[in-house]
Amino acid sequence: MIRVLLVDDQPLIRSGFRALLDAEDDIEVVAEAADGREGVEQARRHHPDIALVDVQMPGLDGIEATRRIAADPDLTGTHVVILTNYGLDEDVFHALKAGAAGFLVKDVQPEDFLHAVRVAARGDALLAPSITRKLIDRYVSRPPHPGGDLPQLTAREREAVVLVAHGLSNDEIAERMVISPLTAKTHVNRAMTKLHARDRAQLVVIAYEAGLVVPQSCSSSPRR
């Protein structure tokens, strides 16, 4: 059962999402919150698998709520998905940097919304390759760090990170590297641990900021 927390200051939005989620046999809404502060409290109380968090709320906004959830060692199993009305913007980028696993636009189709919740519950990032390109092209503009090849990673871990940054799943990484899916997952997880990345979304940002991958190389990235 996927346990979901809804955090949005609009009751109508929350009730609509709740009705959609509760109709599924494998998803349960365990709590709701009307602002970021209450959302963090409910997350600590219920330990949901997914926290769907509105990016713009009065008081404590979704970015700070995401940061607090991501920083809480007791909530490592909670994946934050940002809800936005505006698509990819600076707020979404800051939320991803704060630890969000991905984002959804509120006018998403119901079947895509449900699919996204299940994807996030598996620990995968909600960042399609096309969105990754836009994200990096628009916001990751600083020069690579010295030693930007991430020397703490092994050669195979670096290769796996590059493929994650191109939007490949673990199965696709395994096929490309000619290894088993389990080994691919191990390489990705070890890279995340070494780089202190909470999830694949942060791993993508780190890869670009470090200069391990450059935005231009994503223009021909493989399809997911």
Share of the chain above pLDDT 70, in %: 82
C-alpha angle 171-83-131 in degrees, rounded to nearest 5: 45
* Residue whose structure tokens are 């195979």: 156
Q: Quote the CA–CA distance of 101 and 110 in Å, as a whole number.
A: 19
125 closest CA partner among 198, 34, 182, 43: 198
pLDDT band at 222 (very low <50, low <70, confident <90, very high): very low
Give the chain's mean pLDDT: 83
Whole-Å CA distances, 183 to 59, 108, 126, 179, 200: 44, 34, 22, 6, 16
The pLDDT confidence band at residue 221, using thresholds 50, 70 and 90, is very low
Q: What is the mean pLDDT of residues 171-182?
A: 93
Element at 6 (helix H, strand E) = strand 2-7
Report pLDDT digits (tens) over 190-202. 999 999 887 777 7
Show the tokens assigned to 87.
Answer: 């698509």
Is residue 144 scored above 90 in pLDDT? no
Query: pLDDT for 76-90, tens place per residue?
Result: 899 999 898 876 667
Q: Is residue 224 pLDDT above 50, yes or no? A: no
- What pLDDT does 202 receive? 78
Q: What residues does 52 pair with on adjacent strands?
A: 6, 81
Residue 209's pLDDT is what?
77
Beta bridge partners, 82, equal 53, 103
- Whole-angstrom Cα distance, residue 74 to residue 8? 22
Residues facing 80 on adjacent strands: 51
pTM above 0.75, yes or no: no
**pLDDT (tens digit per residue) in 2-49:** 999 999 999 999 999 999 999 999 999 999 999 999 999 999 999 999
What percent of the chain has pLDDT above 90?
A: 50
Q: What is the helix (H) or strand (E) element at residue 161, kind and residue range? A: helix 155-165
The answer to whether 7 and 51 have CB atoms below 8 angstroms apart is yes
Please report the pLDDT score of residue 102 as a whole number.
82
For 78, list phi and psi in degrees, rounded to 5. -100, 120
Question: What is the model's pLDDT at position 108?
Answer: 83
